[in-house]
Chain A
């Protein structure tokens, strides 16, 4: 495992996470993320062969409900916090050229 996340890698992760970072943040995160990853690397000491992963505390999966129509938010309520709207729609910058 890499001992150090360099600023280029930080830039790549930031692109995946959709967060613009300044040069200063790139360098700071490079150091801090490296420290944290070095700390969590201690897990590699443990033998986990054949161990099932635990995704959550409860042993439940696929909680179903009846497929019935129910009341939900009105368009007005749903749009009330929109930073930009056109009529009954959320407006965004052009996606397709």
Chain B
């Protein structure tokens, strides 16, 4: 197999045997990026010198017989809303176009401690707001499977570069599906860990009660390896859980038996694409043939999750994004005569349309006279949705369903109709509202050759179980091994 096609586990084995060096692997990927990324545009910034210097350090330490970290010499990509102390952190927003973070995010410290190599920063919808990566302030990203379609979003750059073998894996963030939906659209593995499992210190905040960092990888064991590297308690994020990190790899190859998989009939409503419904049903049949019991569930409150999400997420965003005022960092309008004018002009210039729309919506639902009707109401329905899931997990170990209602859509198709684009998140927002861990794994292709994902959800802090269940499917199928034909 070609060097860039290897999984992290395969690359690590080659590195350990001395068959290849980290420098060779890193330089090989940069050559590949140079050839293919002009079309895909998954990267916003490459950190070539720093990456090769780090790869060289790891190679030398390996030659000296030093004990190395679990990701030693493995080149990875980072979503550009995660702070890295060299290069820029832009969130794909013009308001942060030249921002240089003075510190590393917790997950970057963790990757450095694991001896990983960072290739660069990947594209996203501005401030992670979107489902197509078309809302980037610095140009859109194309889906490697078909450059006329979107890669999903908001972690579209991360998913696209992993799918195109321009990184061995990547970090993304997931507020309403932003890891899982692009993973499904690009036929890679995307894991949103339990809320609290991974510290958000250094993740630029969007919806603070929803945001979580997680891995996008080529295989389930690679996602497990990355999660193990980044998960831990961190007192700098007061929502990070003081729970021991599981050994996600120890039993990953051992099938879960007995296994009860719940399927909500509501997931297969009229909004779901037929081919996706078929692929998900086939996946369930496969699990059944592997010994799982499929349990039909009724989750009637799921249909309200999207409405709750767009109230909660925008309310939190309107508050979090108040910090972009042109005072301490970011773009400042120079022609304003007073400070209020300076804030309003800087924000008007610096934010794109979707970010403005969401700040406006959040400002409205939090404003006097509407708070009870919208925001408080949404928080109460959030409680009901959580109870629905608690009840479901009394009957089953895992809930399975689609990740997205449609296959990857055409570039530009939904850009003028925000509400239609929001519907892309209809199956993914529940895991954020409830905090539950959820994974997207490749489960087929449409007749047009576009990827389809399967979503699995388990109880809070049960990532070990979730990854094992996902691995059962991956072992029995070859969807994750298929590669897109790239244009250059």
Contacts and interface: CB of A to CB of B under 8 A. Distances in A.
A29 B196 CA distance: 35
Nearest to A38: B419
A80 B99 CA distance: 9
Interface in A2-55: 5, 10, 13-21, 25, 29, 32-33, 35-37, 39-44, 46, 48, 51-55
Interface size class of A (residues with CB under 8 A): 35 or more
B290 interface: no
A57 B367 contact: no
A39 B419 contact: yes
A43 B304 contact: yes
A36 B420 CA distance: 10
Contacts of B381: 43, 46, 48, 51
A69 interface: no
B304 A94 contact: no
Contacts of B329: 81-83
Contact of B419 (A32, A48, A65, A73): A32
A22 B340 CA distance: 17
B308 A83 contact: no
Contacts of A20: 344-345, 347-348
A35 B419 CA distance: 7
A13 B337 contact: no
A91 B379 CA distance: 40
A52 B383 CA distance: 7
Given A60-B239, A81-B329, A92-B339, A54 B360 contact: no
B422 interface: yes
A25 B380 CA distance: 32
Given A40-B310, A81-B328, A92-B327, 19 more contacts: A13-B363, A13-B367, A19-B344, A20-B348, A32-B419, A33-B357, A40-B378, A43-B307, A43-B308, A43-B378, A48-B381, A53-B376, A60-B238, A73-B102, A80-B100, A81-B98, A90-B328, A94-B338, A95-B338
Interface of A: 1, 5, 10, 13-21, 25, 29, 32-33, 35-37, 39-44, 46, 48, 51-58, 60, 63, 65, 73, 77-78, 80-84, 90, 92-95
Give me the 6 closest cross-chain CB pairs, A-B, nearest first. A57-B435, A53-B379, A81-B329, A83-B332, A48-B380, A20-B348
